[in-house]
Amino acid sequence: MRKVQILLLLMVLVGALVGCKARVEAGRLIVPVRLDESALRQLIDLAIKAYTAQQGSNPLTVTVDTLAFLPPDGLAVAVHAQTENTPTVNAQAEMRFAVQDGLPQVRITRLDIPNVTVSEEQLQTLNNLLSRQLQEQMRRAGDRVTLREISVEADALVLQVEVQLTR
C-alpha cells in the first residue's frame, strides 16, 4: 500500500512539474516564473515609493495607468505623475530586462515626463531601485536559486529560475 502511495505522489509531482513547464537538467530544476501585469504594477509601485522616499520634500505621486509588454525583453509604462501643488502630467517610460551574474537587471531606455529633465544620475537611481526590487525576490528564494533567463511575452515577464537540487 505504501509503495502505491509513493508512486501516486511521484506521479502527481511529475505532472505538476510538466504542467508548469519545469524541467530538470544536470541536477538543477528549471522553473519558469511568470510575473503578470498585476505583479509588475506592484514592482514598479515599490520602486517609485523607494525613489520618492529618497527625495524627501516635495513628494512625487505616480500612478501606473497601463503596461504594454514588448517582447522579447521590454515593457512600456504609461503613468500619471504629480508633485505637491502641481498639476498632474502624463508620463511614459520604456524599460528592458536582462540577466547579469544570475540576477535580474532593469534598464530604463526611455523616460518622457513633460517639462521635466531627468538626469543620468536620477535615471541610474531608478534603474537600481527597479533592479533591486526584482533581485530581492530572487534572494528570498535562497542561495540555491539563480536566474538563468529573463524574457517578455505578450502578457507577462518570464523568469527562468534555476534551482540547484544537489550540493
Give the domain ranges of the chain. 17-164
Per-residue pLDDT tens, the chain, 167 aa: give them: 554 445 343 433 444 444 456 777 777 788 888 889 998 998 888 888 887 777 776 667 788 999 999 999 999 999 998 877 788 999 999 999 999 988 899 999 998 888 778 889 988 988 998 898 888 877 887 777 888 999 999 999 998 988 877 65
- What is the pTM for the complete model shown? 0.78
DSSP assignment of 37-94 equals: HHHHHHHHHHHHHHHHHHH-SS-EEEEEEEEEEETTTEEEEEEEEEETTS--EEEEEE
The CATH topology of domain 17-164 is: Bactericidal permeability-increasing protein; domain 1 (3.15.10)
Which is nearest to 67 in space by CA: 97, 103, 95? 95
